[in-house]
Chains A and B, each alone.
Chain A
Amino acid sequence: MAGNTAEATARATWAKSVAAWFSIAANVLLIIFKLIAGFLSGSIGIISEALHSSTDLIAAIIALVSVRRAARPADPSHQFGHEKVENISGVIEGLLIWMAAVVIVVEAVRHLVSGEHLDHIGVAIAVMLVSAAVNAGLSVYLYPVARRTESAALKADAAHHLTDVYTSLGVALGLALAQATHKTYFDPILAIGVALLIMWTAWQLVSESTRVLLDETLPESDLVIVRKTVAEHRGELIVGYHKLRSRRAGSRRHIDLHITVDGALTVGEAHAIAEHITADIGENLPNAEILVHIEPAAHERDDGS
């Protein structure tokens, strides 16, 4: 049982690391590609896009570091494990996306005010489309891995790449419209629209990770599983349970509860019951760390509060 769990954890860590490496490799390729296209065409716009991909590279590196760090077992200075590193990383990614959006808005406003001169529109559109395709591919690949391994860091990285798809498509569309209509304000206006969309994604990411950092209770769907599992033993092994508390740390769930049993039972018997219930919850809910506090029935409250 314990061996299986360790093996499953190792597998999940491997899958997460591979995904994070993919994200790094893709961003490195995009940077090289944009730099070459930028220098060949002499377009400052495309070279500055390479800079944008560099912030994506930083985000991807943060994701890799945090999935590896989160996999470390609990140690004397982190007795509850290191999984929350993933949620911190989610907040950092959210703030990076937010900053990117602010930079886009500021630049777009500056373009609107000063008027702009567009050069190399054809090349720029092509670079944006390639970038959008690569990022879309990455995010389609990362989201399922993130869901399967319940990795907050990978989910944040996937969201980051998705916002890059919006950016690239928005810029490409803006450039195409500017080219077709000869009205250059399409480019900055679309950029601002994209930036607002990105801010929304970033806000969701930050608020999701923040809720975990604040030890918010597990979702109702998880709690129902715990309650049902414990309630199955009511009457037969236990009198009731209460003070059920739960929280999340990265992909791990921490749960503790008080269970009431007949006060005349021996500690040996009561502990066997506790182990049994712990094992049952662990079977129904993956990645759960459970602590049971046993109380004699005089303390009984069986409403789970």
Chain B
Amino acid sequence: MEHDRLNHGLKSRAAAVSIVSNSALIVFKLIVGLISGSIAIISEALHSGSDLVAALVAFYSVRKAAKPADDSHRYGHEKVENISGVIEALLILAAAAVIIAEGVQKLIDGVIIDHVWLGVAVMGASAVINLFVSMRVLYPAARSTDSAALEADAAHLRTDVYTSVGVAVGLTIVKLTGVEEFDPIAAILIALLIVYTGVTLVIQSSRVLLDQTLPDDELALIRDCVSDHRGDLIYGYHKLRARQAGSRRHIDLHVTVDAAMSVAESHKVAEHIMADIRACIPNSDVLVHIEPRSHERVDGS
């Protein structure tokens, strides 16, 4: 319980940092854009605006996911984080589509580049801030709390680092070589990289939404836990099912015991196994169905 509360605080704080850094970037880009009169820098503020939306989605979903199970959501609210992962991924893909469309347009119409060094400086600053928030704040928090929403937000900000660095490099090459096509070409290449990140994120989040089983190492842990009791308390187990919802794991299985054992005794066995699994797999919700021996199968299938 205490562990949950600490995790929740950590997640909310990390998500809040992302909101603050994106707001600061918007203000910074707007000021520089208005002072210099560069449309490109002002439109970069718009890009940070979509990042702010993503950060708000992450913040909302880590808070919502922490709500305990209620009458209309008996299995808890953790899957909100996975839905939020899908939304973030779609936002990333939409950003990539816009970048590609603009890049193609520029290739066709020609490019008007103004305030090159200012542009490079703004992009550099944006890349540094996003890199820091992504790698130092969001990823560590996502890993330690197993948060899908924070991981998606971290991935989102990392794609922004690619964009900023790519644009800065493109602009620098344009300045040095005088060939203006480098700017849109750099943008399109980066967008393709971003599409890859977006698609990976969609697939990852969809897996959890489809109730895919837990990773092999966690399943092995559960099997070991249950097998420890085999022979001495139980005959065997089967129909082991497992799925994930945000950072929570839902596990259920059938355990076979002597048919003549009393319900009171068998329930103690079940509680014991459930407690053991909960101890090996943090944040897990376990349900055991007890069966008499005649149903026995010991292969765990």
Question: A residues touching B (Cβ–Cβ < 8 Å)?
Answer: 74, 76-82, 84-85, 87-88, 91, 95, 210, 213-217, 244-247, 249, 256, 261-268, 270-271, 274, 291-296, 298-299
Rounded to whole Å, the gap between the CB of A295 and the closest CB of chain B is 5
Confirm or deny: B212 has a beta carbon within 8 angstroms of a beta carbon on chain A: yes
User: B18-67: which residues lie under 8 A (CB-CB) from chain A?
Assistant: none
Are A271 and B72 within 8 A (Cβ)?
no
Are A293 and B270 within 8 A (Cβ)?
yes
**Given A84-B211, A266-B260, does the pair A215, B287 have CB atoms closer than 8 Å?**
no
Chain A contacts of B146 at CB under 8 A? none
Name the contact of A293 in the complex, choosing from B77, B257, B261, B288 (C-beta under 8 A): B288
Confirm or deny: B90 has a beta carbon within 8 angstroms of a beta carbon on chain A: yes
Name the contact of B261 in the complex, choosing from A210, A247, A266, A298 (C-beta under 8 A): A266
Chain B contacts of A217 at CB under 8 A? 71-74
- Give the most central of B242, B259, B263: most A CB within 10 Å: B263
| 15 pairs, CB–CB < 8 Å, chain A vs chain B | A81-B211, A84-B209, A213-B79, A214-B73, A214-B77, A214-B83, A245-B74, A263-B262, A264-B263, A266-B262, A267-B258, A270-B290, A271-B292, A292-B289, A294-B266
Rounded to whole Å, the gap between the CB of A107 and the closest CB of chain B is 15
Question: B residues touching A (Cβ–Cβ < 8 Å)?
Answer: 71-77, 79-80, 82-83, 86, 90, 206, 209-213, 240-243, 245, 252, 257-264, 266-267, 270, 287-292, 294-295
A-B CB proximity, top 6 nearest: A263-B264, A268-B259, A245-B74, A79-B241, A296-B264, A268-B292
Name the contact of A267 in the complex, choosing from B79, B241, B252, B257 (C-beta under 8 A): B257
Name the contact of A262 in the complex, choosing from B73, B74, B263, B266 (C-beta under 8 A): B263
Q: How far is the CA of A296 from the CA of B269 in the complex (A)?
A: 12
Task: Tell me the total A-B contact number using a CB cutoff of 8 A.
Answer: 123
Chain B contacts of A81 at CB under 8 A? 211
Given contacts A215-B73, A215-B245, A268-B260, 16 further A-B contacts (CB under 8 A): A79-B241, A81-B211, A91-B86, A210-B83, A214-B77, A214-B83, A247-B74, A261-B263, A264-B263, A265-B263, A266-B261, A266-B262, A267-B258, A267-B261, A267-B292, A296-B263
Q: How far is the CA of A95 from the CA of B72 in the complex (A)?
A: 25
Are B206 and A88 within 8 A (Cβ)?
yes
Chain A contacts of B260 at CB under 8 A? 266-268
Q: How far is the CA of A262 from the CA of B260 in the complex (A)?
A: 14
Are A214 and B79 within 8 A (Cβ)?
yes
Chain B contacts of A85 at CB under 8 A? 210
Q: How far is the CA of A22 from the CA of B213 in the complex (A)?
A: 34
